[in-house]
Amino acid sequence: QVRLVESGGGSVQAGGSLRLSCVASGYTYSISCLGWFRQAPGKEREGVAAIYPGGNRPSYTDSVKGRFTISQDDVKNTVYLQMNSLKPEDTGMYYCAAVVNGPCLWSEYNYWGQGIQVTVSS
């Protein structure tokens, strides 16, 4: 089993920054890629950012491009999401997720962290 534990959430004012961290443990050798999802109240969960091992091929949903940066430390088995210029619409529960033994596609994530709240006030 792969365990994912997020940290770094909190509450900030619009324009502020937060950095989320996710530590993977367990059968980490089986992880194909890591990513971040979020779910705002009343909305469906959406993919935010994803990255391959070694920091290759980072991808982002359009609404966060230029503001969010995903990175990975392979030695520490940790993925980060640096969030700058935060907007109230970024508010939601953020989940770290992993694809285990599968292609790195939004629909293929099969392991999830518990989620961490991000609140951006106006």
In angstroms, rounded to a whole number, what is the distance separating the alpha carbons of residues 70 and 78?
A: 11
Give yes or no for a contact between 39 and 113, defined as CB atoms under 8 angstroms apart. Answer: no
pLDDT of 56 reads: 83
pLDDT of 53 reads: 77
Q: Which residues in the chain show pLDDT less than 70?
A: none
Q: How far is CA 94 from CA 8, 52, 75, 119, in A?
A: 10, 19, 23, 10
